[in-house]
Chains A and B, each alone.
Chain A
Amino acid sequence: MAIFQPGVRHRYHNILKRRKGKRSVTAMLSLTAMVDMFTVLAIFLLQSYDVKDFIVYTPKEVVLPKANSIKELKPAFVVTVSSKEILLDKDTIASFQEVKSQSDWLIQKLHDRLKEGLVKSKQDFDAKSKNKIREVVDPKAIVEIEDPNTWRKITIQADKDIDFLTVKKIMYTVSVAGAGEINFAVTKKPNDTQSQ
């Protein structure tokens, strides 16, 4: 290990010291500007960070209609209607043209898949409710009053230019399958003054 003379040394003394007989070029990066930029970026991202319970997958081809009077999206089965296909959550159910051209309002595949999903969702909800009863026995546990229809909520996210008859077919099918509350996914109007 090298022995140095006691006293203050510059951090880059090895780089800065001139070497005999050779022409040296010293380059030092100023990190202050980069740290400033990182700080501003981190503050901006932290401010716009939004923690949500439920994030819905929206395909690129789906342009949602805009509305002023909106509510926060809640966990539910999501039926997506784009100009190409119909999806339940992320699984493709049928092509849009197929559904549009059929005269029968019931979309059989969507009905069967949703019914299966609703049965499972009900079982999960019942199991959760039993746990809640157990919690009631414990006085320390916090009791939450939950909507009994949570397990059968449906969110329809359809492209704004889709014909209403196709949306009606979807609504009819989900109702027959046993769905309760139907909600429509929208985006917030940018210059709104009246919102809930």
Chain B
Amino acid sequence: MAQVSSGKSGGRNVEVELNLVPIIDLMSVLITFLLITAVWTQVSMIQIGSSLYAKKLDDQPPPKPPPHADYVLKVDVKATGYILTSGKQIISLPKLQNDYDDAGLAAQLQRIKQIYPDKIDAVVSVSDDLAYENLIRAMDHLLISGFSNISVATGGPN
């Protein structure tokens, strides 16, 4: 047990013992509470952004178009790879060793951002049969490159 000895040689020896039981009680309650309320999986979100084309309420004013909105920036995710439409230019980034060319896409997006630093809007479209993960991957690349106002092109229902 925890003891504090204040004895001097020749004097009266007084030993004080700390009572650890309340500390243990407190610790047990605290640890139990923290373990129960702990969040182990950190779920975050990826934002599409307030799209110009999104559904608006009647009482809301029409949104102001972002800078260089007339310049089309679109990422198509297809089974064969990425197809990047930058204005009138179409850049094909085929799969490399059965995996999407993420480095190539990131480099192209950085290049476009350098040319149009004010541009923040972009469009993503994904083939119907592909996994949803590919949409997040393309959106993530656009957000990292500074295109925060992303629209997801879905086409219309059949």
Q: Which B residues touch A32, using CB under 8 A?
A: 1-2, 20
Are A187 and B45 in contact, with the CB atoms below 8 A? Answer: no
Q: How far is the CA of A194 from the CA of B143 in the complex (A)?
A: 10
A5 at the interface (CB under 8 A from B): no
Contact of B39 among A55, A184, A186, A196 (CB under 8 A): A55
- Near A by CB (< 8 A), chain B positions 25-74 give 27-28, 30-31, 34-35, 37-39, 41-48, 50, 54-55, 57, 60
Per DSSP, chain B at the interface is mixed
B-contacting 9-mer, from A17-25, A130-138, A155-163: A155-163
Are A67 and B27 in contact, with the CB atoms below 8 A? Answer: no
User: Which A residue's beta carbon lies closest to that of B15?
Assistant: A8
Are B43 and A56 in contact, with the CB atoms below 8 A? Answer: yes
B107 at the interface (CB under 8 A from A): no
Q: Which A residues touch B42, using CB under 8 A?
A: 50, 187-188
Q: How far is the CA of A157 from the CA of B132 in the complex (A)?
A: 10
Q: Which bucket holds chain A's interface residue count?
A: 35 or more
Q: How far is the CA of A194 from the CA of B46 in the complex (A)?
A: 14
Given contacts A158-B132, A163-B129, contact A168 B39 (CB under 8 A): no
Are B31 and A38 in contact, with the CB atoms below 8 A? Answer: yes
Are A49 and B132 in contact, with the CB atoms below 8 A? Answer: no
Q: How far is the CA of A184 from the CA of B158 in the complex (A)?
A: 24
Q: Which bucket holds chain B's interface residue count?
A: 35 or more
Q: How far is the CA of A155 from the CA of B139 in the complex (A)?
A: 15
Most buried by B among A58, A69, A181, A187: A69
- Near B by CB (< 8 A), chain A positions 23-50 give 28, 30-32, 34-35, 38-39, 41-42, 45-46, 48-50
Given contacts A42-B30, A159-B132, A160-B131, contact A67 B43 (CB under 8 A): no
Q: Which B residues touch A8, using CB under 8 A?
A: 13-15
- Minimum CB–CB distance from B122 to chain A (whole Å) comes to 13
B76 at the interface (CB under 8 A from A): no
Apart from A65-B137, A73-B44, A172-B157: 12 A-B pairs, beta carbons within 8 A: A11-B17, A32-B2, A35-B23, A35-B24, A65-B133, A67-B139, A69-B140, A163-B131, A164-B130, A184-B45, A184-B135, A186-B45
Interface residues, chain B, with chain A CB atoms under 8 Å away: 1-2, 13-15, 17, 20, 23-24, 27-28, 30-31, 34-35, 37-39, 41-48, 50, 54-55, 57, 60, 126-137, 139-140, 143-144, 152, 154, 157-158
What are 13 residue pairs bridging A and B, where the CB atoms are less than 8 Å apart in the complex?
Answer: A38-B24, A46-B34, A55-B39, A58-B41, A68-B143, A69-B46, A70-B46, A72-B45, A73-B45, A158-B132, A164-B131, A180-B54, A186-B44
